[in-house]
Structure 1
């Protein structure tokens, strides 16, 4: 399986594999202000991803993973106890995927 990173930062796994950023996937965010001045946030489309390719998983952030209905996406397990964020590199024990 090939992994391609579409987050802002390089991703490293504990086994030493490294995935430099090769693009940026994002979720469109739409804001509406309420009468009390609080913003309501709604999520729009996911942008910045190539078409799915057999044998390729795309590394994205958790917001993109959550909003998208694609089966080829994974996110770094940044909330895992073994995850580390050092300078601009994120090191994780594994990736997470969405259950469809």
Structure 2
């Protein structure tokens, strides 16, 4: 197993998963049918989002790992830097959304 390639693949898969979680979370708050479907899938909408997030992460990591790419220290640094940025932006997006939602801003 090529650890450098796994780190890069995992970082990009995590970025895709972060975007998925932010989008599905906001979308489900505005779409009753989507939220109900998520509830019916596993019993609770957060559990369903977690299941889908895990599946997406594993699938994307596998696909990216087996795709042709060259790894280097520079690519690892870039992937991890982007992952940090996506993590911070995703956290901010969900925090701001629920803050606005709580105070009836939208």
TM-score normalised over the length of structure 1: 0.21
More helix by share: 2
The structure having more radius of gyration, on CA atoms, is 2
Q: Which has the higher strand share?
A: 1
TM-score by length of 2: 0.20
Higher relative CO (CA 8 A, sep ≥ 6), structure 1 or 2? 2
